[in-house]
Amino acid sequence: MIVPIIKYGSPLLRKHSIDITGEDNPIQLSKNLLDTLKKADGIGLAAPQAGILKRTFVIDTSPLSEDDNNIEKIEKAFFNPEITWRSEDKIYYSEGCLSIPSIFEDILRPQKIRVKYFDENFNIIEDEFDGLIARIFQHEYDHLDGILFIDKLNPLKRKLLNGKLNKIKKSI
Ligand code: ZN
């Protein structure tokens, strides 16, 4: 089921999400998020972007991996994720967000991360991600704590975006 994506300006995007439990119907939620992500042609979507304040997000790299064989194809839901380690090496990568349409900015983040999460079978998984997957994971993880990628811009760059951001705010 495709659900509406909440846009910048909604207070829901600034809230902290709580752990998801079996009672929250996590499988259905992750299916809805993946359907919505595919329809929007995005690569990551977090539950708060659908107005659901539970610690869950989905990643689907297929829009990029179809064009580039070097990109690993992942289509997956992450439940109650944690980042347990971040590399000291940081890299810039252009980020966008389905909640902040038509804004793309280079954002500096750790290149590698180690993570822990529950998968769709409720197994606890530990993994290490590098490059694009690490990037998407960190962006989506931030959504669970009410953090948006534009928060990571320096104050001047952020100021330069105010006009565009206000337009998105007014359109919601
Ligand atoms: Zn986002």
Active-site residue identified among 72, 105, 120, 140? 140
Known active-site residue 140: yes
How far away, in angstroms, is 8 Cα from ligand 1 center?
A: 10
Structure tokens given for 79: 């439940």
Neighbours of ion ligand 1 (CB under 5 A): 97
Which neighbouring-strand residues pair with 59? Answer: 44, 76
How far away, in angstroms, is 90 Cα from ligand 1 center?
A: 19
Taking only the tens place, the pLDDT of each residue in 25-84 is 999 999 999 999 999 999 999 999 999 999 999 999 998 888 888 888 899 999 999 999
Give the pLDDT of residue 28: 97
Looking at residue 153, its amino acid is L
pTM of the model: 0.96
The per-residue b/e assignment along 28-66, b for 16 or more CB within 10 angstroms, e otherwise, is: ebbebbbebbbeeebbbbbbbbbebbbbbbbbbbeeebe
Give the pLDDT of residue 95: 97
Give the pLDDT of residue 171: 83
How far away, in angstroms, is 148 Cα from ligand 1 center?
A: 7
Give the pLDDT of residue 70: 81
CATH code linked to domain 11-170: 3.90.45.10
* Domain spans in the chain, listed from the N-terminal domain onward: 11-170
Taking only the tens place, the pLDDT of each residue in 102-160 is 999 999 999 999 999 999 888 999 999 999 999 999 999 999 999 999 999 999 999 99
Give the pLDDT of residue 129: 96
Residue 172 has pLDDT above 80, yes or no: no
Q: Reduce the secondary structure of the chain to three states and give it as a string.
A: CCCCCCCCCCHHHHCCCECCCHHHCHHHHHHHHHHHHHHHCCCEEEHHHHCCCECEEEEECHHHHCCCCCCCCCEEEEEEEEEEEECCCEEEEEEEECCEEEEEEEEEEECEEEEEEECCCCCEEEEEEEHHHHHHHHHHHHHCCCCCHHHHCCHHHHHHCHHHHHHHHHHC
Give the pLDDT of residue 65: 82
Give the pLDDT of residue 63: 87
Give the pLDDT of residue 64: 86
How far away, in angstroms, is 46 Cα from ligand 1 center?
A: 7
